[in-house]
Structures are given as C-alpha cells and as structure tokens.
A and B are shown apart, each in its own frame.
Chain A
Amino acid sequence: MNTPYAPGTVSRRSFLKVAAAAGGSLMVGFWPVEGEAAAATAADLNAFIAIGADDSIVLTMPKVEMGQGTYTSIPMLIAEELEVDLDKIQLRHAPPNAKVYGAPFGDQFTGGSLTIRLMYEPMRQTGAAARMVLVQAAANEWKVPADSCRAEHGEVVHAASGRRVKYGKLVAAASQIAVPEKIALKDPKDFKLVGKPAKRLDAKGKTDGSAMFGIDAQAKGLKVAVVAASPVIGGKLKSVNDAKARKLRGVRQVVKLDNAVAVVADNYWYAKQGLAALDIVWDEGKYARLTTDDVRNTMVAALKKPGHIARNDGDALKALAADGKRVEALYINPMLAHATMEPMNCTVHVKGDGTAEIWTGSQVPARARDDAAKVLGLAPEKVTLHNHYIGGGFGRRLYTDYVTQAAAVAKQVKGPVKLVWSREEDIQHCLFRGLYAHSVSASLDAQGKPVAFSHKIAGPSNLAAFAPGWLKDGLDIDNVEGSDIFSYDIPNMRSEYTQEDGPVPTAFWRGVGPTRNMTVLESFMDELALKAGQDPLAYRLSMLGKQPRAAEVLKVAAQKAGWGEKLPARSGRGIALMRAWGTYLAQVVDVTVSDDGEVAVKRVVCAVDCGQVVNPDTVVAQIQSGINYGLTAGLFGVITLKDGRVEQSNFHDYPILRMSQAPKIDVVLVQSSEAPGGIGEPGTAGVGAALTNAVFAATGVRVREMPLRAELLKKV
C-alpha cells in the first residue's frame, strides 16, 4: 500500500514524553505532532517503552507481527539507542488506539512495507530519550556531569569513579526529568545491533506450539461458529431450514445474517456438521450469471476510458503517433486470493453489562474494534480487543469483514463465540486481488531505444475505499506505484489509471500496485529489447545512467546469476528490475520447461538495495518469502468465477508452492547508507516478470496473462 506519508514527507522530529506510571515504572512515548505529546495523559504513555523498578523492559508494539519480523526489528531500534540487550525485552501486542499507535496516520495499520521506513527514526529517538533521562538521573544522584556517564547493558556507568547502577533503580528519578530538546542519536558506525543479524524474538513460541494466534483464543464457555456466506457474489440469505441441523449433537443455535448463516455449536466439528445439514436458499441477486470473462471484459473496456494521469513526461501520445517502430501489448493480472495459512477467524463475547471483548489477529486493530462496536451498537471504548500473532496477512487482514461478521453472530449468542472460516469459506469469500488490465505501448528509434512509452491501467481502486483521503487529486497512488517512477530514461513517458471497481469485492494483496505493474512493465521491457535486437540486461542498463542504484542491483544480480551463459534447450534465464517502497531490487530467474509445458523454477538470484538495513537476516527472509509468494501467483495463481461463484475452494484447486517446487534463492544485499526502504513486498513485486522473461527465453512464448499455462508452453 502506498500512502501520502512516505518518508521524507513527514517531519523526522518526534515529540517525546516521559512519565511515572503505577508501580514506579518509567514510561516513554512519542508523538509525531507536538501538541499531542503535551496533551498526552499518563494512560496514553503506555506507548512504547515501560522500564520497571525490577529492570523489566516492556515494549508495546505499534505494528503487528505477521511473519515480517517487526517484533524483532523495532526492539532492535529501541535497544540500540537505549543500550539494553535485545533478549531482555518483553513484547506486548498493542491495544486498539489509533491516536497512540497510528502515527503518523491516525490509523493503526501494518502494511505497505512501511514499518521500518516510518519507524526507523522515531523508535531510535524513543530509545535514546529514555537513555538520556536515565543517564541524567544517575548523574544527578552522583552529582557528576551527565556527559561523564555512559549507558551500557541496562546500566549507567560512571567510568571515572567506577560506579554503576541498573536502570531499574533510576526509573523513579528519571520519570521526573524532562526529555531533552535535542535527542542524541548514535552515529550508524557505532551501531551494535542495527545492521547485524539478530535472532527473532517471536521464534521460540512458534516452534513449540505456545505462540497464540487469534484462532487459538480461549474463553470460559466458548462456543464455535462455522459460517456459510452467499456463494454468489452480492447474494443474500433467502431462507434456511435448520430442522435437521438442530437435532445434531452439540449444535446450539443457528444464526441468520443478511447474507450468511452460521451454526453455533460446542466445537468446530459439531458446527461444521450442523452447517452441512442446513437447507439454505439464497437470493442470488444480480450477479448470478457473472463469469471471469465478464470481469475481464469490463476491465479491458475501461482501458478506453480516460483516467488519472500519474506521470506525463514530454508528450508520449504525440510521440507514439509519430513514425517509429511501434510495439503494443495487452497484459492481464488475474484475480487472486491471499490464502493465509490461518483462516479468517474472530472470537467475540458480548457481555450483559454493555461491554464486549474481542480476540483476533488484525493488521488494523483500531478499525477492527471500531467496526465491531458499530455492529454491536456500542461505543468503541466499551469494546476491548486483544490482538494476536497473525498467521499470515498479505493485505487480507487489513480488512475487518470477518470481525464484523463475528460481531453480528455474537450479538445473537449468549456467551463467547469463536467464528472460524473453513478453508473453502476463506478462499471463496476472500476479498480478492482484483483483475487488472494493462495496455502498454512504446515506439523505438532507429537504434531500438524507446522514445515514447505509455502504460494505461484499469481495475479496482482499493485505496478509494480504504482511505479516500490518501488519493492524490483523485489518483489512486497505489495502483500506479512503480509505474509512476519507472526507472528508465525515456523522454516521453506516460502512466495513467482508470478506476473500474467491477462487482467483485477486492483488497490489497502483497505488493499491490508494484506487483502488478512490474510484472507488466518489466516483461514489456523484454519485448522491446527483443524488437531492438538487444540483450535484455544491456538494453536496460543503457537507459539507467541516471539511476545508479537501479543499475547496480541489475549488474550484481546478473553477475551472481551468470548472465549470458549458454543454457540447455528448454531452459531459460530472465531478468527484471523493481523499484518501489524506497527499495531497488533485481531478480534473475532460471527455469526449465518440460516438453509438455510444465515450468520448474530452478534458481532465483536477487540483488537488493533497501538502504540502511536493520536486521539483515529479516531482509533475506522477506525476499525469500516474497519470491515464493510471487512464484505461487505466477505458476498457479488464479481465481475464476462461474455463475457468480468462485470456482476454487481449497489447496487442491488453489495450489500453493510446495517444498519440491521452491527454487534455490540467492540473495545479495547491496551495502547502502540511504534511508531504509520497505522489504515486505519487493520480492513479490520483482519476480513475476523475471519468471515470464525466463519462460520466454526457454520457449519463445511471451506470457501476457498470468498464471503460466502448460498448454501454451508445450514443445511444438
């Protein structure tokens, strides 16, 4: 997800405040806006560090952990400046509170490959502020200048006299000291933690079964609900005969919603049996005949409608109309499901005293709480939400549909109820990555160099629904992301997006705009290189004179991969560049294609420059993850519609890359002292075109509509 608050547009200065809390803890919090810090109450100061008199250090995590490593990287930033050991830090999931944890948006969300980009300085400042007041407290007690003391391993040390004192002994005094006006951040060359691989703080519980995900929530008297929503998009519940279901063991209640029916039982199995025994009649509504082709045709037709211009260097349309070698193509990015391993679920307890309690995993805990409160008819402050480790987000848990559905069920149930979606429900009622149509055209000069380049996109706008305030003069900045800063030096360059939402409910999906745009644009670059009769790598490099970081990652990846080597028949090597989220990466994919058209990905090399790195091991892990996520999409990923229904239902017909199919991945980190870039999504965004380019090299077949289809790649 792209936001108007990209680093560089927000003030780097945070406003910090310390206070004493019950039990004598030192609390340190930061706010991006000066007035908010001044007005903050003691209760607000649970953000982000609490140092106890017992030397405990508890961080309340402003961002959620869904695998991306935030629960290690944010503590690293704080520990680095606070001078404490990483393994001494305890972590707490943040409660819903957009004001305290939603900086700088006022919207508490985790996504957009933004965490480190936005938190890099504020978290360091917060740690440094805490360190400075602790050092000052020790200096005051010892009646020595603060600059004669230093902090290390959770202690303040006065080297001259050999005195040392643990932070816990200082918290009472430190909480009375105002945060200094000037926060002294470390010089990066003095970093002890940042930039070096650190062990994940969430790993142990995830290897012994003790880590708690939303689906693991327990409550006394808990019932389980299994739900069937209208199988037809936009359909409603007409009627349900539950006579058989009610007689089944363990079934307690059948709950009707506007567009769904849920069976509440003593456990999941009983609820599932109950659901299977229902006779449900749906009002299928106006999309009862909808097919994928309808959606596709709608998006292709929308390419003809005027849209919002994201970029218009020179006059691309005029230059395209002039003489020159013209190349044009239509590309389609298909619908996809997120298919997180943890199916959607949410536990809600509506209590008799006008309050409610929620247990779930959400990328947007404050929105989840507020949306549920609305359904329950309660004020948000009457609703408590316990967030959890998230068993896969990828954009899916930026939405609260499963939370509001659970609230609607719980409203009709006495006692706590856990709503768990079956895998079939999870795939068929995903909020999908929408179908996008892309029209690309270029004209080449006599040397084969593009003089004009146009990219037109049509498809749904998720940003318009999620955060209309983030549209830029009506432009969905997500949907053009990557296209708007396409790196090549082409004098006439145009990027345009036409919003066409269509009937299918859609969502952000890992890599959002850049995943779709880079798959198209970097594939099209290979088409141009072919037309120009040039090597794809050399062709790209010839247009990157003004983009040294982009050129460097391409060169590094190509060299590591052995670019230019001769490969056996039906083997191919493809390259692609990706630049978005402040990160540059290049990937080289090696494939072999069997005579019957099956593609095996043998190796992926990825060179990445994401600026200053916090935890290099996390960067590598996220690249590995992003590549495999993108390969699943490229090799298998497509959601199709027939009669208004999603045709896929579980992992047999919506396959996910498995161990034997996962390639060897070599990641090379290019050293950089630039501002930190995002890393959760770039790997996914970079792999699609490298894959199709490799397939072209192996077979001579240009794939312009994912996923790869064996019948089109057979040996002829």
Chain B
Amino acid sequence: MIKLTINGKPRTFDVPGDMPLLWVLRDEAHMTGTKFGCGMALCGACTVHVDGEATRSCVLPVSAVAGKKITTIEGIGATPAGKATQAAWLKVEVVQCGYCQSGQIMSACALIAKNRQPTDADIDDAMAGNICRCGTYSRIREAIKDAAASPLLKGA
C-alpha cells in the first residue's frame, strides 16, 4: 500500500512501487486532468507538482513520491500561482484543443511561483519540456507574463 497526498488529501493505493504516478492518478484515482502524451517525459502533458516542483509523472515511480505533496491540475487553482495562471490562460485565450494545457499550466505556475519577472529565456527554459501541437506558444508566453504580474501573487 502506498500513501500519497494529492491536492492536500491523503490517499492510499494498492499498486506496485514502480508504477508511474501518472497511471495512479488517471487509472486508480480517476483524476483525468493530468494527461498521457508520450510515456517518456518528452512532451510534458503529464506534468504535476511534487513539493512544488514541476515533474513529469509518466516516468515517476509512485514509490518515489510517497509522503510528498502532489499537486495536480485539479488542485492547482487553490494556490495563488495556480489561480493567477488559470486566470491568465483565460484572459489571453490560450487554449485550442486543450489536451496539453494541464501540463503547460503546471509548468508555468511552477515558474511564476518562484520567479515574478520571468524573461523570455526563463520562459523558454521552464517550458522546454512541454509540447503544444496546436502551437499556442506565443499565447502561453503572453499568459505567463500576465500571470506573473497578477495581484493574486502579492504577498504569496
């Protein structure tokens, strides 16, 4: 039995320790906001936060995150950075098909939680692992800058 804390709630799963966190979330916890894209940490669709760090859950053995704080797209809106990022995504009208956007948002808000004035190079760096096949990159960049300047982040 593996004990996890997902979006602040304790959960227990009867799964092998080498099972990637992605499939525990999607197929065991039935939390489908975190997406499967490649299974090799190449596309970022599966990005979640582990203790606040953006992490690719598709190659992350669940045993490695026991006892750590896991945050997913379903829970990120409860954080100031998550709330600001989601609001900026709506303001800038980032999404198209939307499939990659959970992962994009998770990578983006991990960035702005630490860096309130991200440069283009900071954004390129933080978002390098996230592919968007609809090519929404210029809007993602704009939304990250907008979110970083959000009053929601004041004092956070």
Contact = CB atoms under 8 A, between A and B. Distances in A.
Contacts of A7: none
Interface stretch (A79-87, A237-245, A387-395): A387-395
Nearest to A664: B138
A621 B36 contact: no
Interface in A134-167: none
Listed residue (A67, A266, A343) with the most chain B CB atoms within 10 angstroms of its CB: A67
Interface string A246-284: 000100000000000000001111001000000000000
A341 B37 contact: yes
A659 B36 CA distance: 20
A658 B19 CA distance: 28
B77 A208 contact: yes
A665 interface: yes
Contacts of A392: 97, 99, 133-134
Given A199-B90, A650-B38, A213 B73 contact: no
Listed residue (B15, B16, B43, B96) with the most chain A CB atoms within 10 angstroms of its CB: B96
B43 to A, nearest CB: 6
A67 B97 contact: yes
Contact of A207 (B36, B37, B95, B131): B95
B80 interface: no
Contacts of A216: 32
A207 B138 contact: no
Interface string A207-222: 1111111011010000
Interface string A662-688: 101100000000000000000000000
A208 B33 contact: yes
B139 A658 contact: no
Contacts of B36: 215, 268, 343, 420
Nearest to B74: A209
B128 A660 contact: yes
B55 interface: no
Nearest to B33: A209
Given A269-B23, A342-B35, A658-B128, A208 B138 contact: no
A617 interface: yes
A200 B39 contact: no
A206 interface: yes
A3 interface: no
A205 B9 CA distance: 22
A662 B32 CA distance: 29
Interface size class of B (residues with CB under 8 A): 35 or more
A420 B42 CA distance: 18
Listed residue (B32, B38, B128, B135) with the most chain A CB atoms within 10 angstroms of its CB: B135
A192 B38 CA distance: 43
A360 B137 CA distance: 27
A66 B96 CA distance: 7
A659 B40 CA distance: 19
Contact residues of B: prevailing secondary structure:
loop
Nearest to A212: B32
A209 B73 contact: yes
Contact of A66 (B40, B97, B128): B97
Given A67-B97, A218-B30, A627-B135, A267 B39 contact: no
Given A625-B134, A659-B141, A211 B37 contact: no
Contacts of B132: 341
Interface string A372-412: 00000000000000000111111000000000000000000
B42 A624 contact: no
B97 A203 contact: no
A450 B98 CA distance: 46
Given A207-B95, A209-B34, A267-B23, A651 B131 contact: yes
B44 to A, nearest CB: 10
A423 to B, nearest CB: 4
Interface in A593-639: 617, 621, 624-629, 632
Contact of A625 (B31, B32, B124, B135): B135
A501 B99 CA distance: 33
A268 B27 contact: yes
B73 A208 contact: yes
Contacts of A651: 38, 40, 42-43, 131
A206 B104 CA distance: 11
A624 B139 contact: yes
B79 interface: no
A423 B32 contact: no
Contact of B74 (A208, A624, A626): A208
A656 B90 CA distance: 25
A624 B138 contact: yes
Contacts of B60: none
B124 to A, nearest CB: 4
A211 B98 contact: yes
Contacts of A664: 138
Interface in B27-76: 27-28, 30-40, 42-43, 45, 72-74
Contact of B72 (A209, A212, A656): A209
Interface string B101-112: 110010000000
Contacts of A648: none
B81 interface: no
Contacts of A532: none
A68 B136 CA distance: 12
Contact of A659 (B27, B94, B124): B124
18 contacts: A203-B93, A206-B95, A207-B94, A215-B36, A268-B23, A269-B20, A341-B99, A343-B37, A391-B35, A391-B98, A391-B99, A423-B37, A423-B40, A626-B135, A628-B135, A657-B135, A659-B124, A662-B138
Interface of B: 15-16, 19-20, 23, 26-28, 30-40, 42-43, 45, 72-74, 77, 86, 89-90, 93-102, 105, 123-124, 127-128, 130-141
Interface of A: 66-69, 199-200, 202-213, 215-216, 218, 224, 249, 266-269, 272, 339-343, 389-394, 420, 422-423, 617, 621, 624-629, 632, 650-652, 656-660, 662, 664-665
Closest 5 CB pairs of A and B: A209-B33, A628-B135, A391-B99, A206-B98, A67-B96
Given A207-B89, A658-B137, 9 more contacts: A208-B33, A209-B73, A210-B74, A341-B37, A423-B39, A624-B135, A657-B135, A658-B130, A662-B138
